[in-house]
Structure 1
Amino acid sequence: MADDKTTRVNSDRDRISIEEKYELRQWSKGLGISVSREELVAAVRAVGNSADKVRQHLKEKNSSTAHR
């Protein structure tokens, strides 16, 4: 998401900025899965800032944790 919250470009909506607190709040709720800010930051550091990659990483992580 861009710093200008009134103008959003599609590519900005596909990226997660862990430097912006408001983005962490929005993405923590907006990924469609329950995730803490700390888990979100760790996922971005693990797979990059692509929202799709982060979402997939977190789903896989939650799935593997559930099977233990």
Structure 2
Amino acid sequence: MHFSGSLDALKAHVAALELPGHWSHEGVFEVFRLEAGEMINFWPGSGELQVKGHPERSAALLAQLTSQFGSGA
């Protein structure tokens, strides 16, 4: 998936979901690790965004993110 916004914009979208977790810098990408185990990986240079983890929970998280992006929040 591609996210054309900034890291700060992505962080705002993720914060709006009110999911427990934390951000960390991993070299060329940023990662949000949810307490449930899923991860949101983001490469600011290219806009690449990946959701990793349990297939069903990852799909649900991706749907939440996509909806949040569409809300313009």
Q: TM-score scaled to structure 1, two decimals?
A: 0.36
Pick 1 or 2: higher relative contact order, CA cutoff 8 A, min separation 6: 2
The structure with the greater share of residues assigned to helix is: 1
Return the structure number with greater strand share. Answer: 2
